[in-house]
Structures are given as structure tokens and as C-alpha cells.
Chain A
């Protein structure tokens, strides 16, 4: 894309103040926006639309409008026995992952945010350095440890625990400033009223940290829902597989069923998209809070 060159032209036509020139440059902005929308949503919409076609129709004219609209591809998948099992496994693993991350992450962030002790910064650095530990590095030992040593292969917990562990750094890093920003007066008042620090945590801090919890929870949930590498190694039994594994399996097993594959991917992306659209302001605000300098 040649946005940058277009941008230069636009700048030249721009006047210093908001005058007649701004209408022209606004048109230019809308044109760019239209291109961005087309490129971004194009593949997604193409996939959804192709899911309504037949294979002969698609192969005859891949870039054309569907000649026939059929629901068969979608209904076949939804009435098949596998799809719902995959979706259920994905949901359970994502829920367990999120629960572990939110509970342990907030508990850990609390002393790191509001206690004074000598090991605080080194302890915090341990979590921050966790950002640098790629899953790929640990994946082979995790496979051996969980499948052979612990016997947790093909279980929800076996996937959720390592996923939660790798999501912890992010969680602690987002929650710490959030908890630290709650006013000191609250804590002082609670302590003067005779609450212990633990009581303060349960009765005051947790109820107030809802927004932060939602942000880290959503990130953990979507991350788990979309994960591929760890489940690929740890879930071998078809009844335990998650949706991404199901999509990948389907697309290799029925490689010739182009429209079926498109229908499958379209169905698989619905939950993450719905979830994201419902909570997108939370996510963006969380990111904003994290980025604002």
C-alpha cells in the first residue's frame, strides 16, 4: 500500500486552518478508511460468504458472487458430533485458564503494589522477565512433564495450567499499577477501623478492582481460546481437542472441501468476535491505561 506517498500529497493540499481545504482532506481520510476496511474485513467476509457456496460454484469462479446460497455447509458442521465437543473443550479450558490467572495474578499484584518490603522489586522483575520466556522454548519439556510425568495429557487442567502460567506476567504487569492507584486513604481508613491487610484486600480492594480484572480476564480468555501450539502437543485424543485444533484437522482431512473449510472457520471465529465486540471498550481502555505515559 502506498499510504505514505498518498499521505505526503494530502499534506501538501492541506491548509493551515480548518477552511475549505479540510473538506478535501476529509474526503481523502474517508477514502483511506474505506481501503483499510476493505483489506481488513475482505478475507473474513470472503470466508463467511464462501461458506454459503458449493464447491463447484467456488471452483468455477473463485472471486465471483455466489451463484447459489446454501446453508448445507453450516448445518452439516453444526449437526456433526465434533464441533460442539471442540467448542465445549475450548470454553472449559479458557474458563479454567482465566480463573487461575485472575485469582493468582491479582493476589500476587497486591503486595507488589501496596506493601513495602525489601524483595519487592526483585520479585516483580521475576514476573516481568517472564515476558521474555517464549512458549516455544518450554513446549517440549512441558509436553514430557505433563503427558509422561504428571499424566495430565488430554485433560483440561493440563493445558490450562501452563497457559495460565504464561499469562501471569501480563496480568501482574497490568494489575500492579491499577491496584497501586487506589487511594491510600481507603487503606488507612480500613486499618484504623480495625481491618487487617487481608481483610482490606477481600472487602475493599477486590470489589474495586473489577475493571482491571475484566481486562486481564478478557486477555487471558481470548488468548486461551485462540491458542494452538500447546493444545496441539498436549491434546492427542479427538474428544479432548479444542476448536483451533478442530479447524486445523478439518482443513487437512477434507482439503478438497473448500466451502466446508470456509464454513468451519467462519463458525470458529464467531465466539471470539462476539466476546471481543461485547468487551472491546474494556480491552482498549485497559491497553490505554497501560500505554499512557
Chain B
């Protein structure tokens, strides 16, 4: 996953919270407004409205000013041929979109994003689950292990990227030396210098960096599985493996699906790690949608084209998210914060 992923960075390590909270629908039976409220000369309803406005306004201003407005501007820019300075007068309609969608580099970038999405889930899900199940057993040093597993996630993408770039170097790279020592041939240009290997190398680094988040999230989910269930199953003679398959994993479902969602959103916008490791090269073999739009917007000043690419990225992220929510998160969200308003009502 990337960047703020959740963050953000990628990703951010943020989690939407599937807690059946009171907030999801149940009425807070507040006491009848004290008679005092009337004395202030405002109607209670109006006063409540003003209070709500007072609390929500700062966040809304920041959010609209620096998230919604720029995204709106991106949509506007995407219909102009514009260099980023001077008047924006050259309206070209959908021409930028035609260019972006027809560009072979962008198509390749989109494919790379899809590869990263799929590979992240296919690699990190089984590994993360296996590690979480192992670390969930009562072994010595468990807390230390949890900390260690999470370390790569805390490092800045730039720091992790630069260290790995050094290790992946063609001549002095640590990995090359190790591979050659064992007798495995390595590409002439080094792993990130060879178009056939570069995306795989980026994927390895992303896995290293984000596996810890999966493990920590899964462990958090496992801590919510009641111990009694395991004990009961053990008394009934279930093996450790049967317990994991029959009890633990099904109960972990919501956490896994939530992680999948975060991972997907992060993979769609991956930029930092790729930019540090390869700049999208060699020969565009690791370009992603984000590096594509950065190249056009910042290096070539083609704001219109870059904005069209960012709108495409946004639409794709939205389609993925809605599809995921519709088919995979559907049951988890019932009665939680993320459910569509009105659906999460308690009986």
C-alpha cells in the first residue's frame, strides 16, 4: 500500500471503525432540555444548530478548502490546455482525457497499479495471517516481536526506499552480493535497473514495508476473539488447526476485509516508494498513475494532462471502493459507522 496510506499513506494506518457504536443510530435519550435554555432568549432548536455549527465549522472549512476544492479544481483544469501560469483560456473539452487514456505509458501505469493491488493482497494476506496466528500464541517475547514487525511501517517511505535502493544497486548492492555468493545469477543492470525485474523489486520492498501493518491489524482483530471459544473447542478435542479454521479465521473476517480495503486504496495511489526507488523507470516499467501525473504536471508543466490523469485516478479509486463496499464489505458495515446512513439503525 502506499503513501498515506494510509495513510498515507498511504496510507494511513487509519481504520474505519467497525464498532457498533451508539452513534450508529440509537437515540441518545437526552433529558428534556432544562428550562434554563429558554431563558437565554433563543429557541432551543436554534441554539443547538448554532452549537453544532460552532463545533463542525473549523473542520469543514479545512476539509473543503484543502481536499474537496482542489479535487474540484483538478476536474476544471483537466478540460483546459494550460501551463499553470497566465490565464486559463484554452478550453479543450475532453481532449486531455482522450490523450491520457490513449497513452501507452498511462495504460502501462494503470496495469502496474492493478498488479500492485493484486500482488499486495495475494502476498500479504496469507503471510500476514500466518504471522498473526503465530504471534498470537503465548510465546516468550511476543510483545517485542509485535514491535519489531511494525518497525518498517513507521519508517518514512523515503528512508526505507533509499536504504533498499542502495541494497538493490548493481555493483555494490548487498542483495547482488548475496545472490552471487549463493550462485543465483542477477540481471546485468541490477534488479531496479532491469525492466523485467524492476516492478518485482518494488513489490518486494512494498511487501517488506507494509506487511507489519497487516500483522498488527490482524492481531488487533484476534484480540477480539473470546478465549472461551478456543477453550471450549479444545475441550471438544479440536486441533489447533481446526480451531483456527473454524473459529478464529471466520471471526477475523471483518478485520481482513477492512485491511483489504485500506491496502487497495493505498495501492491505487502509490507514489513515494516508486519515485525514490526507480522514478517510474527503467523504460517506464514501474510507472504508476501517480508518477505519470507528477511527471506531466511538475516536470513538463502540462497541468491539463496531469489533472486529467488525476481525475482518472480518482474515478478508478471510487469505482474500486464502491465495488468493494457493495460486494465485500456489505455485511460488515451493517450497524457500523461506515454503513450508508439509515441502514445502520439498530432494530
Task: Identify the A interface with B (CB < 8 A).
Answer: 1, 3-4, 7, 11, 14-17, 25-26, 29-30, 32-33, 36-37, 39-41, 43-44, 46-47, 50, 58-59, 61-63, 100, 103-105, 107-108, 110-117, 121-128, 130-145, 148, 161-162, 164-170, 172-174, 176-177, 180-181, 184, 187-188, 191-192, 194, 197-198, 201, 219, 222-223, 225-229, 233, 243-245, 247-248, 251, 258, 261-262, 264-265, 268-269, 272-273, 276-277, 280, 283-284, 287-293
CB distance from A148 to the nearest CB of B (A): 7
Contact of A137 with B3 in the complex, beta carbons under 8 Å:
no
Chain A residues near B217 (CB-CB < 8 A): 287, 291
CB distance from B235 to the nearest CB of A (A): 10
Chain A residue at minimal CB-CB distance from B130: A3
Chain A residue at minimal CB-CB distance from B17: A290
A291–B15 CA distance with the chains assembled, in angstroms: 7
**Is B145 positioned at the interface, with any CB of A under 8 Å from its CB?**
yes
Contact of A265 with B159 in the complex, beta carbons under 8 Å:
yes
**Is B67 positioned at the interface, with any CB of A under 8 Å from its CB?**
yes
Q: Which of A39, A110, A134, A173 has the most CB of B within 10 A?
A: A134
A174–B54 CA distance with the chains assembled, in angstroms: 21
Mask for B126-159, Cβ within 8 A of A = 1, else 0?
1100110011010101000111111110111111
Chain A residue at minimal CB-CB distance from B152: A40
Contact of A115 with B48 in the complex, beta carbons under 8 Å:
yes
Chain A residues near B127 (CB-CB < 8 A): 1, 3-4
Among listed B55-63, B91-99, B195-203, interface-contacting one: B55-63
Contact of A258 with B4 in the complex, beta carbons under 8 Å:
no
- Number of inter-chain CB pairs below 8 Å: 391
Chain B residue at minimal CB-CB distance from A105: B59
A170 and B62 in contact (CB under 8 A), knowing A148-B85, A191-B31, A192-B31? Answer: no
A114 and B303 in contact (CB under 8 A), knowing A173-B17, A228-B158? Answer: no
Chain B residues near A233 (CB-CB < 8 A): 298
Contact of B154 with A187 in the complex, beta carbons under 8 Å:
no
A196–B144 CA distance with the chains assembled, in angstroms: 46
Other than the known A3-B130, A293-B224, what 13 A-B pairs have Cβ atoms closer than 8 Å? Answer: A104-B58, A127-B63, A133-B68, A140-B77, A140-B306, A174-B14, A177-B337, A184-B29, A191-B31, A229-B271, A262-B166, A280-B150, A291-B255
A3 contact from B51, B131, B157, B239, Cβ within 8 A: B131
- Name the prevailing secondary structure of the A interface residues: helix
Chain B residues near A103 (CB-CB < 8 A): 58
Chain A residues near B84 (CB-CB < 8 A): 144, 148
CB distance from A50 to the nearest CB of B (A): 8
A291 contact from B30, B224, B317, Cβ within 8 A: B224
**Is B327 positioned at the interface, with any CB of A under 8 Å from its CB?**
no
A280–B48 CA distance with the chains assembled, in angstroms: 39
**Is B190 positioned at the interface, with any CB of A under 8 Å from its CB?**
no
Chain B residues near A126 (CB-CB < 8 A): 60, 63
B313 contact from A59, A134, A180, A191, Cβ within 8 A: A134
Q: What are 14 sample pairs from A and B whose C-beta atoms fall under 8 A apart? A: A4-B130, A39-B208, A43-B208, A108-B56, A116-B27, A133-B314, A137-B269, A144-B84, A168-B62, A219-B14, A223-B8, A228-B157, A291-B258, A293-B19
A16 and B56 in contact (CB under 8 A), knowing A131-B14, A194-B36? Answer: no
**Is B164 positioned at the interface, with any CB of A under 8 Å from its CB?**
yes
Contact of A251 with B293 in the complex, beta carbons under 8 Å:
no
CB distance from B18 to the nearest CB of A (A): 5
Contact of B163 with A136 in the complex, beta carbons under 8 Å:
no
Chain B residues near A261 (CB-CB < 8 A): 162, 166
Mask for B1-15, Cβ within 8 A of A = 1, else 0?
001100111001111
Contact of B216 with A287 in the complex, beta carbons under 8 Å:
yes
**Is B232 positioned at the interface, with any CB of A under 8 Å from its CB?**
no
A226 contact from B155, B271, B321, B332, Cβ within 8 A: B155
Chain B residue at minimal CB-CB distance from A39: B208
Contact of A108 with B271 in the complex, beta carbons under 8 Å:
no
A272 and B156 in contact (CB under 8 A), knowing A229-B3, A265-B162? Answer: yes
Task: Identify the B interface with A (CB < 8 A).
Answer: 3-4, 7-9, 12-19, 21-23, 27-31, 34, 36, 48-49, 51-52, 54-56, 58-60, 62-63, 65-71, 73-74, 77, 84-85, 126-127, 130-131, 134-135, 137, 139, 141, 145-152, 154-160, 162-167, 171-174, 176-178, 181, 208, 212, 216-217, 220-221, 223-224, 234, 237-241, 251, 254-255, 258, 265, 268-269, 271-272, 275-276, 289-290, 293-294, 297-298, 303, 306-307, 310-311, 313-314, 317-318, 321, 332, 337-338, 340-342
Contact of B314 with A140 in the complex, beta carbons under 8 Å:
no
Chain A residue at minimal CB-CB distance from B270: A136
A168–B212 CA distance with the chains assembled, in angstroms: 24
Chain A residue at minimal CB-CB distance from B251: A293
A128 and B12 in contact (CB under 8 A), knowing A63-B177, A140-B77? Answer: no
Contact of A293 with B254 in the complex, beta carbons under 8 Å:
yes
Contact of B66 with A140 in the complex, beta carbons under 8 Å:
no
Chain A residue at minimal CB-CB distance from B153: A276
B17 contact from A62, A140, A177, Cβ within 8 A: A177
Contact of B338 with A128 in the complex, beta carbons under 8 Å:
yes
B289 contact from A62, A136, A188, Cβ within 8 A: A136
Contact of B51 with A198 in the complex, beta carbons under 8 Å:
yes
Chain A residue at minimal CB-CB distance from B181: A63
A247–B165 CA distance with the chains assembled, in angstroms: 13
A177 and B21 in contact (CB under 8 A), knowing A134-B314, A188-B30, A248-B162? Answer: yes
